[in-house]
Amino acid sequence: MTEETAPYGTGPTTPTTPVKRVRTHHLAQMKERGERITMLTTYDMYTAATFDEAGIDILFVGDSAANNVLGYETTIPVTVDELMPLVRAVAGSVKRALVLADLPFGSYQASPEQAFHTAVRFMKEGGAHAVKVEGGAEIAAQVEKLTTNGVPVMAHIGFTPQSEHALGGYRVQGRGDAAERLREDARAMQAAGAFAVVMEMVPGDIAAEITGELAIPTIGIGAGRDCDGQVLVWTDAFGLRTGRMPRFVKQYADLHGTLLAGARQFADEVRDGTFPGPEHTF
Ligand code: KIV
């Protein structure tokens, strides 16, 4: 059995199973078999390596690095040059996952050529295996230019954070009459050659319908349980970020609490002279 024909989707690699890179056709096979696809954001080498070891299928350097790493309020200001070192760190730290880079606001909307130039930078300089773009029918020409020239593309429809000001803030998309527009966007992205589509903050029944209609996998974030896969922003999912969370977030760990307790203990021990002890001293 060759690497490419071996069965795929058995979860994390172990020392006894050969490491096999997740590729876009594996994701299509997972949809056919009804196996759920897992995707997390990641912005650095340690989380990337950890999530890869956990068997997460797609590791995604989102433009959400803007408000999770770089201290911006929204994703709008982040640039290609700011995201590039993060993509390179992630791509260099994972063995199995498909590494996906987000094209930031303003780096692809102007023309198919602009989109191609930006995507090629992420693949050549960053080592990304695929890119993600936000938008539907209005960016079909960009997606087609990429997919017909060797760049695998994941689309992102529904609530698209880069258009937050145009959409009037964080709101569920595709309710009522807007559902038809959402279906058209999903079809346009599939027709343009996208290998998958993220649906963000979309009613669960509409997301289920689109998932049933499309041949390519759908990945949900606030789009209910019937998508072919799920993505979360890692700092939300593991509790590094605190404060009000969107309803679709489930928190699997309390990293803020763990770090806070550790930092307080370190400070106490330095102040009272407990650290460093003789065992830490040369
Ligand atoms: O940048 C990001 O984190 C995203 C997710 C919301 C999918 O686009």
Check if 134 has its Cβ closer than 6 Å to any atom of ligand 1: no
Check if 160 has its Cβ closer than 6 Å to any atom of ligand 1: no
pLDDT given for residue 19 in this prediction = 63
Residue 6, pLDDT above cutoff 50? no
- Give tens-digit pLDDT for 53-103: 999 999 999 999 999 999 999 999 999 999 999 999 999 999 999 999 999
Residue 221, pLDDT above cutoff 70? yes
Which residue, judged by its Cα, is nearest atom 8 of ligand 1? 62
Q: Which atom of ligand 1 is nearest to the CA of 102?
A: 1
How far, in Å, CA of 259 to CA of 281, rounded?
Answer: 24
Q: What is the mean pLDDT of residues 93-120?
A: 98
Q: Which atom of ligand 1 is nearest to the CA of 68?
A: 3
Q: What is the pTM of this model?
A: 0.93
Q: Is the CA virtual torsion 88, 15, 98, 56 positive or negative?
A: negative
Residue 27, pLDDT above cutoff 50? yes
pLDDT given for residue 4 in this prediction = 43
C-alpha 233 – ligand 1 centre gap (Å): 7
Check if 102 has its Cβ closer than 6 Å to any atom of ligand 1: yes
- Give tens-digit pLDDT for 132-165: 999 999 999 999 999 999 999 999 999 999 998 8
**What are the structure tokens assigned to 21, written together?**
């890179």
Which residue, judged by its Cα, is nearest atom 1 of ligand 1? 62
Q: Give yes or no for a contact between 127 and 92, defined as CB atoms under 8 angstroms apart.
A: yes
Query: Which residue shows structure tokens 């390519």?
Result: 216
Which residue, judged by its Cα, is nearest atom 7 of ligand 1? 231
Residues designated as active site = 200
What is the chain's mean pLDDT, rounded?
A: 93
Check if 231 has its Cβ closer than 6 Å to any atom of ligand 1: yes
pLDDT given for residue 189 in this prediction = 98
Give 2's pLDDT tier (boundaries 50, 70, 90).
Answer: very low
Check if 235 has its Cβ closer than 6 Å to any atom of ligand 1: no
**What are the structure tokens assigned to 248, written together?**
């679709």
How far, in Å, CA of 282 to CA of 261, rounded?
Answer: 27
Give 12's pLDDT tier (boundaries 50, 70, 90).
Answer: low
The region of weakest confidence among 13-22, 140-149, 221-230 is 13-22
